[in-house]
């Protein structure tokens, strides 16, 4: 298997200085934008287009299909994070056997985690029952180079538990708040901090929680301004929302630093 390129820019830079020939670069690019496995067409180019790589969604796939798709991504000419989500034990075992080196977060597995990024992200879950969604979010953020702090079991039924950690929510770049039941926690945290909040309703709850729909509607109706709400149990989507936001901020900051005179004028 050929070694993947860390990024497309490096490939173009090495062509520009003559380290590789245009024909060699063309051979690399020929394997883009997607790979056809017969049963799946895997999108190598998405990482270049959006800065977010295509994920492998476990449900509905056989263990062998999961393993083959991951192998296809890992053989891409462009090195990107690879994430297997919502996988069962057999899918995880098959994927790791064919593709060693994955880091397991319960039902999510990550390969090729990106270099560490500077943005500080906190994941807050209301209850222990929300941890599977929190772990999916944590795994996906880790794949994109973030090292999120996870705060668990601070739901509003015991508000004193949240107030103890309130200081940890102040000087951060983004907060993912995960809650089921009536979905109140994001609104409470939204009144305590200026950080952007991505709220994730979960299907955890009794009776009229309606498998997460009550929490979803509660979050959408929140009186705390500016809360972004994901779909039910979508920890993966919340992590991607944070990655999109943080990546643009980092890019703009890097551009300012590049063109700012050393004397600050």
What CATH number is associated with residue 150? 3.40.50.1970
Q: What average pLDDT score do residues 246-262 get?
A: 62
Q: What average pLDDT score do residues 203-212 get?
A: 91
Residues 150 and 173 in one domain: yes
Bridge partner residues of 200 (DSSP): 178
257 domain-assigned: no
**Stronger pLDDT, 89 or 34, i.e. the higher one:** 89
Q: Is the pLDDT of residue 3 over 60?
A: no
Q: What pLDDT, on a 0 to 100 scale, did the predictor assign at position 115?
A: 86
Q: What is the rounded distance in angstroms from the CA atom of residue 161 to the CA atom of residue 104?
A: 29
Q: What is the rounded distance in angstroms from the CA atom of residue 202 to the CA atom of residue 56?
A: 21
* Model pLDDT for residues 131-158, shown as the tens digit of each residue: 999 999 999 999 999 999 999 999 888 8
* pTM listed for this prediction: 0.81
Which two tokens mark 7? 């990024």
Long-range (24+ apart) CB contacts under 8 A made by 9-17 are: 11/77
Of 111, 129, 159, which residue constitutes the final position of a domain?
111
Domain carrying residue 143: 121-252
Contacts of residue 160, defined as CB under 8 A and 6 or more positions apart, other chains included, come to none
Q: What pLDDT, on a 0 to 100 scale, did the predictor assign at position 253?
A: 59
Three-state SS at 119: coil
Residues 125 and 107 in one domain: no
Which two tokens mark 24? 């060699």
Give residue 52's pLDDT band: very low, low, confident or very high (50, 70, 90): confident
Q: Look at the chain and report how many structural domains it folds into.
A: 2
Segment among 50-59, 92-101, 210-219 with least mean pLDDT: 50-59
Residues 127 and 246 in one domain: yes
* Model pLDDT for residues 213-240, shown as the tens digit of each residue: 999 999 999 988 889 999 999 999 999 9
Q: What pLDDT, on a 0 to 100 scale, did the predictor assign at position 76?
A: 75
Half-sphere exposure of 203 (CA within 13 A, CB side): 8
Q: What pLDDT, on a 0 to 100 scale, did the predictor assign at position 1?
A: 37
Residues 137 and 62 in one domain: no
Residues 131 and 241 in one domain: yes
Residues 230 and 197 in one domain: yes
Instruction: Give the residue from 133, 220, 230, 126 showing the smallest Cα distance to 179.
Output: 126
Of 77, 111, 145, which residue constitutes the final position of a domain?
111
226 and 237 in contact (C-beta within 8 Å)? no
Residues 35 and 150 in one domain: no
Q: What is the rounded distance in angstroms from the CA atom of residue 50 to the CA atom of residue 242?
A: 13
Residues 129 and 247 in one domain: yes
Please, what is the Cα angle at 198 between 129 and 121, to 5 degrees? 90
Instruction: Give the residue from 226, 225, 224, 204 showing the smallest Cα distance to 214.
Output: 204
Residues 80 and 196 in one domain: no
Q: What is the rounded distance in angstroms from the CA atom of residue 44 to the CA atom of residue 152?
A: 35
> What letter does residue 110 receive in the DSSP assignment?
E
Residues 146 and 69 in one domain: no
264 domain-assigned: no
143 domain-assigned: yes
Of 111, 142, 167, which residue constitutes the final position of a domain?
111
263 domain-assigned: no
260 domain-assigned: no
């Amino acid at each position: 298997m050929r070694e993947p390129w860390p990024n497309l820019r490096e490939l173009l830079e090495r062509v520009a200085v003559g380290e590789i020939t245009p024909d060699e670069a063309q051979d690399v690019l020929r394997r883009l934008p997607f790979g056809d496995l017969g049963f799946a067409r895997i999108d190598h180019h998405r990482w270049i287009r959006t800065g977010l790589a295509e994920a492998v969604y476990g449900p509905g796939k056989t263990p062998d299909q999961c393993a083959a798709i991951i192998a296809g991504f890992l053989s891409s000419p462009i090195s990107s994070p690879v994430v297997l989500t919502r996988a069962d034990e057999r899918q995880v075992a098959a994927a790791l056997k064919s593709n060693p080196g994955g880091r397991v977060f319960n039902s999510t597995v990550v390969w090729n985690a990106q270099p560490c990024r500077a943005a500080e992200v906190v994941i807050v879950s209301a209850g222990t029952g929300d941890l599977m969604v929190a772990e999916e979010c944590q795994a996906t953020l880790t794949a994109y180079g973030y090292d999120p702090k996870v705060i668990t079991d601070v739901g509003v039924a015991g508000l004193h538990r949240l107030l103890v950690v309130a200081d940890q929510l102040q000087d951060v770049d983004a907060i993912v708040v995960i809650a089921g039941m009536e979905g109140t926690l994001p609104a409470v945290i939204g009144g305590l901090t200026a950080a952007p909040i991505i709220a994730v309703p979960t299907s955890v709850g009794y009776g009229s929680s309606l498998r997460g729909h009550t929490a979803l509607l509660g979050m959408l109706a929140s009186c705390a301004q500016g809360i972004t709400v994901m779909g039910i149990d979508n920890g993966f989507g919340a992590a991607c929302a944070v990655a999109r936001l943080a990546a643009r901020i980092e890019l703009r900051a890097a551009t300012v630093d590049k063109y700012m005179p050393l004397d600050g004028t």
